[in-house]
Amino acid sequence: MSKLILTRHGQSVWNAENRFTGWVDVDLSETGISEARKSGLLIKNLKINIDKSYTSFLKRAAKTLEIILQENNLKLDLNASWQINERHYGSLTGLNKEETKKKIGEDQFKKYRRSWDIAPPSMPKNDKNQLLFSPLNKNIPEDKIPDTESLKDTYCRVVPFYEKKIKPDLQTNKNVLIAAHGNSLRALCKNLFNISDQKINELEIPTGNPLVIEFNKNLEIVNKDYLDKTREKKIIANQ
């Protein structure tokens, strides 16, 4: 049996400021560092081997993974990949969420933030936030870099990456740890838990709380649990 551990990065500086972050490469807040350390300890208490680890090109996820590995005395490759980056929020990037909701109305706000296939308006080519993107982006093919994304768009890069890179690890009975983002993990969970387009808007992924998914030899899910029961969210499946 193999285990997949999904961890959303700890709180970032822009999470704390309630801003749309997307592809901006902001750091962890002090709270986020604490959440990452707690994630590491929770995973350590499982007393299992971690064979592979993956993260995104964004330092809030990579630092979360680094802290978790340190807490577990592990020296694994980070295996950073842009395909599991956070969703690109287009022209919403950098804006305060509450102020944006008041400006565009709650209905439109919900569509941009939680719908399956509605993307925000594109980020302008001269947007100042592009200067805050990860320097690792230079490794992404230019025609693959989005200027906005829906969750569906995010799904279309996350799931093929999972199928090609991570699923083979699980099929060979490896335990895999992923530190990524709210929307890239929502996209992956949609696939793993067979969540419908209509229900995916209800799935919340808390920061810094590892979700452990256990598979049988046929790669069927036999169990799924958050490690921090005080901060767990409802796990939607087959809906």
Under 8 Å between Cβ of 93 and 21: yes
CA-CA distance, 168 to 118, in Å (whole number)?
32
Catalytic residue among 35, 66, 71, 86: 86
Q: Is 9 a catalytic residue?
A: yes
Considering only CA atoms, which of 154, 161, 85 is closest in space to residue 115?
A: 154
Under 8 Å between Cβ of 205 and 182: yes
CA-CA distance, 131 to 140, in Å (whole number)?
16
Secondary structure, 3-state, 17-82: CCECCCCECCCECHHHHHHHHHHHHHHHCCCCCCCEEEECCCHHHHHHHHHHHHHCCCCCCCCECH
Q: How crowded is residue 21: how many other Cβ atoms within 10 Å of its Cβ?
A: 24
Catalytic residue among 9, 35, 88, 149: 9
Under 8 Å between Cβ of 134 and 58: yes
Q: How crowded is residue 102: how many other Cβ atoms within 10 Å of its Cβ?
A: 11
- Show which residues are catalytic: 9, 86
